[in-house]
Structure 1
Amino acid sequence: MKKFNFPRIARNMLSTHSQLKRVFPSNSLDAIERAIKQCEANHTGEIRFVIETALDCAALFAEQTTRERAIEVFSKVGVWDTEHNNGVLIYVLLADREVEIIADRGIYRKTGIDAWSQICHQIEEAFKQGLFEEGVIQGIRAVGQHLSTHYPASGQKINELPDKPVLL
């Protein structure tokens, strides 16, 4: 018989969109969008930021991990569809206070998973202190440093993906 993680299920089932708005009010989302825009001026990569309030029942009972969901979202919001395969998704599952970074194959080959794991950990630590906006912006800047190293800005930059945070 399958053992379910009932605390996780309850946390996700009880999470609401109003909690998301309280943690990430519109001024925070605007600041995050500005940080992405500023960061992308220094490289040719693309950064998408997605916050999901909670997983649905099917995902919870299938025991979908945050990483598995982030991979789905990576595809859903088109991060994989950049010319140089240098898109990066920063995904937050708010109910679990977990962060995943999914990098497209172009940038992933150059950085590996350790760089992204460290950034996720830093963002999660900021969340534990209640510093949601600050943690995300620090994470965006850290991702941007990697993109600047491997995909420096050259000439006119085409913004392939929207900078506005996505709320799911």
Structure 2
Amino acid sequence: MPSRNQRLLMNAFEGWFAIHRRFPPDLLDDMTEAVADGERTHLGEVRFAVESRLPLPLVWEGLDASTRARQIFGQLNVWDTEHNCGVLIYVLMSEHRIEVVADRGIARRVKPEEWVSICAAMQESFAAGQWRAGALRGISEVHALLAKHFPSHGKARPDELPDRPVLL
């Protein structure tokens, strides 16, 4: 874990800031489609949020990626799904951090190591400059876990949350 001073520098100067270059509209469209298609296979809801960096005063106060991901989980109402099985994939570009936050329904059934594995695979792709592959793989792997634990059994269900990724 980087020190507070290292995190301050990362959030002030790190080169991953080109959020719109890394996540252009065509990739956001593909991600939206992947979220919508995957949600047809299970009862969960998936949100994807990307933040370029954290405000320096908040980093100074100790805000980290994990805490920020939980804040975004709440702000995007991912917790407010019928089956308590919403999942947020959160990317903090400046610190090269990826967090998955799962609502209590799915968190009871999926081991933390499975989320860590998804994050690591995405991290590897992103580090290699494969933003499209990493994002779509992460979405696909989250859907696979949700389909395993909360299958839809082919029944239509309402779409409770927007499918389009959020750039913060």
Report if TM-score (shorter chain) is over 0.5.
yes
**CA deviation map 1:14-52 (0-9, x unaligned):** 369971001111111111111111111111100000001
Query: What residue identity is the alignment partner of 1:12?
Result: N
Query: What residue identity is the alignment partner of 1:21?
Result: H
Q: 2:133 aligns to what? A: 134
Query: What residue identity is the alignment partner of 2:164?
Result: K
Q: 2:49 aligns to what? A: 50
Query: What residue identity is the alignment partner of 1:137?
Result: L
Q: 1:99 aligns to what? A: 98
User: Is the Cα–Cα contact under 8 Å of residues 16 and 53 in structure 1 kept in the other structure?
Assistant: no
Q: 1:19 aligns to what? A: 18
Give ranges in structure 2 of 5+ residues lacking alignment.
Answer: none
Query: What residue identity is the alignment partner of 2:157?
Result: K
Deviation at 1:5, TM superposition (A): 3.2
Q: Whole-Å Cα distance in 1 between the matches of residues 15 and 25 of structure 2?
A: 16
Q: 1:83 aligns to what? A: 82
**CA deviation map 1:93-136 (0-9, x unaligned):** 01111100000000000012111011011100111100112101
How many positions carry a matched residue from both structures?
Answer: 166
4+ residue runs of structure 1 moved beyond 4 angstroms?
Answer: 15-18
| Identity score, percent | 37
Q: Whole-Å Cα distance in 1 between the matches of residues 8 and 15 of structure 2?
A: 13
User: Is the Cα–Cα contact under 8 Å of residues 92 and 98 in structure 1 kept in the other structure?
Assistant: yes
CA RMSD for the aligned pairs? 1.8
User: Is the Cα–Cα contact under 8 Å of residues 126 and 134 in structure 1 kept in the other structure?
Assistant: yes
Query: What residue identity is the alignment partner of 1:156?
Result: A
Query: What residue identity is the alignment partner of 2:12?
Result: M
TM-score under structure 2 normalisation? 0.93
- Secondary structure of the residue that 2:111 maps to in structure 1? helix
* Residue 159 of structure 2 corresponds to residue 159 of structure 1: yes
- Secondary structure of the residue that 1:137 maps to in structure 2? helix
